Amino acid sequence: MLYKKLVIAAALASSVAPAFAAPEKFKIDPLHTYPSLEFSHRGVSVWRGKFNKTNGTIMLDRAAKTGSVDVVIDTTSINFGLPAMDDKARSDEFFTVAQFPTATYQGTIKFVGDKPSTVDGQVTIMGVTRPVQLNLNLFNCVVHPVLKKELCGADAEADLNWREFGMKSEFAKGETDKVHLRIQVEAYKQD
């Protein structure tokens, strides 16, 4: 009789134990992801450009309130909206795309409450790796109305220093060595 009561108690305890959700994998949607940058042009104006090709994955563990980001940016896809500036950005003065056709970012997602708020990671540009914390201004997830898959998106930003990555351009001098990075990203949950 005691054995039967213990078995029943164990069965009940296991049925009410909290379920732990597994980490979820999201694939970055390259059609809705735009890493961009802006920097001072000799203190006179601000140049803005974006990268047209990006891919990667995001892992979210909402139960543990953590996750990871792994992104690859095609630096040859830089687009300032001006062919002469695009060519300069691809040259040895800027991204040296012949030698370094990609830049990468890998980081760990930090939560505040139930939402991601920052990503502590490292960016590699032109073979040089430096720590960069991305601040998330926005993070939301919804079920896509057509695809019926969960879609998460974020708006992230950080500041970098051109000189730390070996930029040779005249823009990488004095006050203009600073660049503001902004990333709009959307990613679909993978089955």
Indicate the SS3 state at residue 85: helix
User: For residue 29, what are its two tokens?
Assistant: 């949607």
In a domain, 99, yes or no: yes
The DSSP secondary structure of 73-107, one letter per residue, reads: EEGGGEE-S-HHHHHHHHSTTTT-TTT--EEEEEE
Residues of the domain holding 154: 23-189
In a domain, 40, yes or no: yes
In a domain, 57, yes or no: yes
Encode the chain (191 residues) as per-residue pLDDT tens digits: 444 443 344 444 444 433 456 899 999 999 999 999 998 887 788 889 999 999 999 999 999 999 999 999 999 999 999 999 999 999 988 899 999 999 999 999 999 999 999 999 999 999 999 999 999 999 999 999 998 999 999 999 999 988 888 877 665 455 557 899 999 999 999 98
Q: How many domains is the chain partitioned into structurally?
A: 1
In a domain, 16, yes or no: no
Q: What is the pTM of this model?
A: 0.83
In a domain, 159, yes or no: yes
In a domain, 33, yes or no: yes
In a domain, 127, yes or no: yes
